[in-house]
Structure 1
Amino acid sequence: MRYIAGIFEQLKVEADQRDAETAGKARGFENLRPFTTDPRHIGRREIQDFMAWMRKQGLDPNTQAKYLAHMRSFLKIFKNHTIADMDADGVRFPKGNKKPIRVLSTEDLQAIFTTLDDMLGWRGSVARGMIALSFATGTRPKEFRLSHLEDLDLKKMTFFVRHPKGEGSWASATEIDIIREDMVPFLERYLRERTAYLKEHGISKAVPMFPNLYRGLDEFYSANAFYIIKHDVELASGVDFKLKDFRSTLTSITVNSDMSLLPAMSAQLRHKTIGQTQKSYYRMEQGAAGKQLRNAWKNGPAIVPQKGVIDSKYEPSGYN
């Protein structure tokens, strides 16, 4: 909201300049209501100017819709229902389309885990642990970032999600299974390296699964710190990815092998309904559709042009 507030301050300056010019050129505009940034009094004029600014900036419709949603929620705090009233009057607001959910390819996964195997130092250890845990369980970045050491039980092959999405609202802490056994060696290695790292610093035990000793004993890594460590893996592997991609990739690989596993996968992901998982799965497959279709044509008949792509009367540069 600070960013949006800054935009409104900028729009107010521009609006005040326009109002002054208009009032100086014609009568009847002296009493024009001035542009306001007071959330109690923001009206249609301010919202329309804001939407015009977003269009002028060429913002993605998803971003425009997100900014307006933030504004709607913020104004409601002050009992200002301007956006809702405009919506009821038929004003057309930008609507974002949900983007396909990314699924990492087998080649990308191989590159990432080969890189993880070779990474050195404590940051390399954290990278191994967090990515292996994510891919083994399908947990969200925040859920494994704020996990405790005691939450992971490799004997029972379970992981306790202590801080789930929707915590305190519609979700409670729960135990889920480790469903990719090939991730266990990575996790075992991380736990050994974690013990050695703590010992080097004269510490016998620490609560966090991923202790951040730079911040202090029993301190967790911030989301930004995890992003930096993830970026180390990106640079070394040559693969751009988000930590949440392992959740969708795990789902896609599991369900593609057997569609009857969809209900079980829905439970693993802790979705409210199977329908939610089906919609997510559809968006995952949208993201991978192009590659699947290209692969389907690899063994198909090739159409070879009878005439060369560059006509003989042209030089190789393409200019005659």
Structure 2
Amino acid sequence: MVEENTQEDSIELKTFLSYLDRYNDDMIGICKPSTEVERNRKIRRYGRVFAKLAQEGKIVNCDPAVMTERDVRLFIAELRDVEGLQTSTQERALALMNSYFQCAGNYGAVLIARRKLKISVPKKEVEVLTDEEVAIIEAVLDNLPGWRMTVIQGVVIIALATGIRPGEIIRLGVNDLDLVNKTVFVRFPKGNGKYQDPHLVGILREDLIPKVEEYLIMRTAHLAKAGVETDALFPNLRNPGTYRYSDNALRQGMRKLSRICGFPFSTKTFRATFCTTVLDQDFDLLPSVSFQMGHSNEQTTRDFYNACKMARSRAKTRLIYSSVMRPDMKKEASERIRLARANGLLRHKDP
């Protein structure tokens, strides 16, 4: 079903969304039901971009069945030049629009546009945290205000304790946690029904179980205050359809936590950190780590670990370099610049 919207949809947007119910029917058995809301949100968002282009007179029609490859190229230009989206996001937008347009019977527009655009997506580097950075994050988690950041705290704790994927974490139900047996039931794994089925993984950092218990107490109080009942482990009361946070909302919260901590990371970073930390200690644990991470085979885990080792080296380099630039050294540098200017070695103002 089409998501509810707080504002009246324009005629152009209604035209674009007219195939959404049919598209969702086509996705049954292909995509996980849990992804439908997020997928619809993206289609609606991209529909607004097309509607804006139509209202500005840049494209003639917002009907996916008859739109042209030129319309698609203008859409990508809007995402790139106005909204500043990266090439990887542009490519994902094209992939989603291709399947949506094909549902409307338009099999060529997006494919031709993609060939002409020649979007080159750089390989994304893996991020890994040092032990010191993990300690900083855990210390910061105890002082985060507001429910949204409490959710981020819970997500980080589960990520550190299990190494499972962000999408798997955000879709957990409260009954998927078994703190007595120290397990988490991954109900919606990546590749569900293809190379992965719902399965149990262990809570490997038992020292974090009290933190999970604290989060559950805060969750219960939050829901009781709002008078809401939901199975969602990380409930979002602003989304009464599923009461779950979207992947995008999770990324926004994690970016805020990253800024607070003072160094870059995302939810995926904890997964890479888990893999590297364990295999650095004992590489014979590769089969166990591969299962815990939900990889289709051990070679995937091996390749991922090799990328993680390089990322950890970069993280340590960053930490060492930043620690050298201490405030007292900056003060000394400022004094040297002052003396250089006094001696005529530097101008007071650039020409």
TM-score (ref. length: structure 1): 0.67
Structure with greater helix share of residues: 2
Q: Which amino acid aligns with 1:281?
A: Y
Amino acid at match of 2:44: R
Partner of 2:104: 78
Matched, 1:258 2:282: yes
Q: Does the C-alpha gap of structure 1 residues 172 and 92 become closer, same or farther in structure 2, counting only changes over 3 Å? A: same
Q: CA deviation at 1:41?
A: 1.8
Displacement after TM superposition at 1:139 (Å): 2.3
Larger Rg: 1
- Matched with 1:41 is 66
Provide the residue aligned with 2:177 in structure 1. 152
Residue aligning to 1:95: 120
The residue correspondences of 1:266-285 to structure 2 (distance < 5 A) are 266-285=290-309
RMSD: 4.6
**C-alpha separation between the residues in 2 aligned to 1:297 and 1:173?**
43
Q: Deviations over 1:28-67 (max 9, x none)?
A: xxxxxx8433211223333344455556546432232222
1:194-250 CA deviation, whole Å, 9 max, x = no partner? 59849987x9xx87474759689xx85534776787678557655664333322221
| Structure 1 unaligned blocks of 5 or more | 17-33, 299-307
SS in 1 for 2:267: coil
**Partner of 1:222: helix, strand, or coil?**
coil
Instruction: Select which of 75, 78, 86 maps to 1:60.
Output: 86
Q: In structure 1, what is the Cα distance between the partners aligned to 2:144 and 2:77?
A: 48
Deviates more, 1:58-67 or 1:283-292: 283-292
Unaligned runs of 5+ in 2: 1-42, 323-335
% identity of equivalent residues: 27
Kindly provide the amino acid, as one letter, of the partner of residue 346 in structure 2: E
User: Is the Cα–Cα contact under 8 Å of residues 234 and 245 in structure 2 kept in the other structure?
Assistant: no
The answer to whether 1:7 aligns with 2:49 is: yes
Cα 1:297–1:71 shift into 2, 3 Å: closer
The verdict on how the C-alpha distance between 1:87 and 1:283 changes in structure 2, with shifts beyond 3 A counting, is: farther
For residues 124-135 of structure 1, the aligned pairs below 5 Å read 128-135=153-160
- Return the alpha-carbon distance in structure 2 between the equivalents of residues 167 and 238 of structure 1: 36
Change (3 A) 1:209 1:272: same
Contact 2:179–2:209 at 8 Å: present in 1 too?
yes
CA-CA distance at 1:83 after TM superposition: 4.3
User: In the alignment, residue 2 of structure 1 is paired with which amino acid?
Assistant: R
Corresponding residue for 1:243?
267
Q: Is the 8 A contact 1:104 1:245 kept in 2?
A: yes
Q: In 2 relative to 1, CA 313–80 (structure 1 residues): closer, same or farther, beyond 3 Å?
A: same
Q: 1:215 to 1:174 in 2, by over 3 A?
A: same
Number of residue pairs the alignment of both structures matches = 289
The equivalent residue for 1:314 is 345
